[in-house]
Amino acid sequence: MGFRELLSRKVSIPNPELLPKGYQEIGDIIVLRLKPVHEPYEEEIAKAVHELTGKRVAIWKKVKGELRKPEIKVYFGDGVTIKKEHGCAFKLDITKVMYSKGNVGEKERLLNLVKPGEKILDMFAGIGYFSIILAKHKNVTIHAIEKNIDAYFFLVENIYLNHLTNITPLLGDNREIVPLLKQRGESYDRILMGYLPSSQEFLDYALMVAEDTVIHLHQVLKKEEIEHFKTHIISKIEKKHFSAEILATRIVKSYAPHRYHIVFDIKVTKT
């Protein structure tokens, strides 16, 4: 019997056929997304799921603002948990920072691309979603920038939790920190730009510390917009006195109806 059927037997609410078919599990917290028709019954639904699983239950609503703060309510406890992935432990508070299961494949792909000895800049590090895994499994050096103080707190904690010494966490806006890195003469082999819905507005800052560099630029687009975006981004880079080549284009996951989270691997070389 499926999750929806089990849940519908425990709650007496309208339109049980619209209950979620499944859920996301972050650490030991069950995360549900409800249809608007069921929002008035979220406490009853959370209680039923708790009885079925014995775990804390969170009702996800939306994310808001430049810092991508989640709006989420946790029942039967707080939002602090530890998520294990790729042999790494990620401590976080799901009421303060996001954790997307849709990026698992992208993390695996990056692990296969990154070479020993690389120097990497993570411009939107969060709690270390990419940086922790790369630093744990590869002999690399990483500078990880994060603006959100809550995410930065967990980034630092996760560096220690995973016994890492090859990540330098940097608190602040990359629009302020990257020019300081440039002044210090820093440049990077690989730059991660994992900000959604659009990383392209920060591209000029990435180019400040690029020489012979692969940039992973994340963007939300419709499928029919991909080719135009590739032409646009190459033109934008070349105007900054770089040669540029799109090495790969990958759809990471669905983001919204007819819109997709896409990553572009772009090799840039200063001319």
Q: What is the pLDDT of residues 219-235, one digit of tens each?
A: 999 999 999 999 999 99
- Residue in the structure block whose two tokens are 């560096």: 159
Range 166-171 average pLDDT: 98
The CATH 3.40.50.150 portion of the chain extends over 101-270
pLDDT of residue 71: 82
pLDDT band at 161 (very low <50, low <70, confident <90, very high): very high
pLDDT band at 29 (very low <50, low <70, confident <90, very high): very high
Would you state the CATH architecture of domain 3-77?
Answer: 2-Layer Sandwich (3.30)
The CATH 3.30.300.110 portion of the chain extends over 3-77
For residue 40, report the phi and psi dihedrals to the nearest 5 degrees. Answer: -65, -15
Determine contact, residues 218/252, Cβ cutoff 8 Å. yes
E strands, 133-234, are: 141-146, 167-171, 188-193, 210-221
Dump the DSSP string for 24-41.
Answer: EEETTEEEEE--GGGGGG
Does 262 score more than 70 pLDDT?
A: yes
pTM score of the predicted model = 0.90
Least confident of 3-12, 23-32, 99-108: 99-108
The mean of the pLDDT values for the chain is 93
Model confidence pLDDT, tens digit, residues 199-222: 999 999 999 999 999 999 999 999
If DSSP codes are grouped into helix, strand and coil, which group holds residue 254?
Answer: strand
Least confident of 46-55, 95-104, 184-193: 95-104
Range 35-41 average pLDDT: 90
Q: Which of 176, 169, 148, 152 is nearest to 67 (CA)?
A: 148
Does 256 score more than 90 pLDDT?
A: no
Least confident of 50-54, 159-163, 187-191: 50-54
Range 11-19 average pLDDT: 89
Does 5 score more than 80 pLDDT?
A: yes
Q: Which residue has better confidence, 250 or 103?
A: 250
pLDDT of residue 65: 63
pLDDT of residue 220: 96
pLDDT of residue 67: 60
Model confidence pLDDT, tens digit, residues 52-96: 999 999 998 877 666 666 788 999 999 999 999 999 999 999 999
101-270 CATH pick, 3.40.50.150, 1.20.210.10, 3.30.365.10, 3.40.640.10: 3.40.50.150
